[in-house]
Amino acid sequence: MVRFATRNFIGTKRMGSERKKSSSRSRSTSGKTHVARPSPKRAPRGERRYVICIRNDDYPASLELRKLYVVLEDEFAAEHRMIRVIDESGEDYLYPDSYFLPVDLPAAIERTLRKIA
C-alpha cells in the first residue's frame, strides 16, 4: 500500500533578498566604486567671475547673446573646457567655454551687481 505524505511546503525556494530583510533604498556594495563629481561652488564674495555670452548655437532658449552671466566655479567643468553658469531657466548648467568671453568689470559695477544679486 502506498501512502502519500502531505507536503510542508509548496516547492519554491526563498530568495536571497528575503532572508536579509533589505530595502530597495539601500546602496549597493557590489564592489564598484563611484567617483562623485565635485559640486559646483560659488566663488568667495568679492571674487566673482563674469562672462558674456557670444554664441548660443545649440541653446537659443537657454542663453541670450550679449548677456552677462556669473560663473560658478567647477573643477570638473574646467577640466573639460566647459563653463557652469545659471541660464535663463534659473538652473546651473555646463556650456562650452567657447560660447563665452571673460569680462573684468570695474569695482563700482561689481559692488552694484553684488547688491542686486
| pLDDT of res. 51 | 96
Q: Contact at 8 Å (CB) between 68 and 50?
A: yes
pLDDT of res. 21: 52
| 37-83 pLDDT tens trace | 444 444 555 478 999 999 999 899 999 999 999 999 999 999 999 99
Distance CA 114, CA 99 (A): 24
pTM over 0.85: no
Backbone angles phi, psi at 100, to 5 degrees: -135, 155
User: Residue type at 7?
Assistant: R
- 50 - beta bridge partners? 70, 103
CA distance 82 to 93: 10
Which CATH superfamily groups domain 41-116? SH3 Domains (2.30.30.40)
How much is the mean pLDDT over the chain?
76
User: CA 70, 76, 79: angle at the middle one, nearest 5?
Assistant: 100
